[in-house]
């Protein structure tokens, strides 16, 4: 699967009968995303020759690691913005392959880079959002020619939300 868009946004379409609990924006760092980002980064930094080759090779090496997502979460109650608390978080976060198999994260850590740096890479970072990096084991292949979709589900006792990436 090659996601047509590596960014998904989940939020209610109407808030007439309920309170919005959160907004979730997630970018799945697919091999295509990493390659495009490495080229952009090399261009912005003015890298040429061996330095450029090294940056592009680094992005190819990153693909071999765990699946990685940049997750930006805005919650109504700031105390509920706690994805980095692991099992103590009010949220359960899973990646779901096209067969419905849930993949638990290896870790979710807060992205501590300055907001302007994160926003340069992920323009959808909202003013009140907290950015996280979520890593999932690469034990289950979620990409490939037959893959049609992958989902990120975040749920709690207050509700749930999904971000869905589909093949073009």
Per-position pLDDT tens, the chain of length 168: 444 334 444 444 445 555 667 889 999 998 889 999 999 999 999 999 999 999 999 999 998 889 999 999 988 888 889 999 988 999 999 999 888 899 999 999 999 999 999 999 999 898 999 999 999 998 877 877 777 889 999 998 878 889 998 877
pLDDT number for residue 64: 87
- DSSP state at residue 138: T
**Cβ proximity of 93 and 108 under 8 Å:** yes
- Could you tell me which residues are beta bridge partners of residue 125? none
pLDDT number for residue 3: 40
pLDDT number for residue 20: 66
pLDDT number for residue 11: 47
pLDDT number for residue 41: 93
pLDDT number for residue 76: 84
- Separation CA 108–CA 71 (nearest Å): 9
- Separation CA 164–CA 90 (nearest Å): 22
Q: What is the pTM of this model?
A: 0.83
């Amino acid at each position: 699967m090659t996601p047509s868009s590596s960014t998904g946004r989940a939020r209610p379409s109407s808030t007439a009968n309920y309170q919005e609990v959160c907004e979730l924006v997630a970018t799945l760092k697919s091999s295509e995303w990493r390659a495009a980002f490495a080229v952009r980064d090399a261009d912005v930094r003015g890298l040429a020759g061996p330095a450029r080759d090294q940056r592009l090779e680094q992005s190819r090496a990153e693909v071999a690691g765990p699946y990685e997502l940049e997750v930006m979460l805005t919650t109504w109650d700031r105390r509920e913005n706690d994805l980095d608390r692991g099992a103590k978080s009010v949220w359960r976060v899973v990646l779901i392959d096209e067969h419905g198999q849930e993949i638990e994260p290896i870790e979710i850590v807060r992205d501590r880079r300055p907001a302007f740096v994160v926003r340069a890479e992920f323009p959808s970072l909202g003013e009140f959002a907290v950015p996280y990096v979520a890593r999932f084991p690469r034990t289950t292949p979620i990409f490939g020619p037959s893959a049609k979709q992958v989902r990120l589900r975040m749920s709690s006792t207050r509700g749930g939300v999904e971000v869905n990436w589909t093949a073009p």
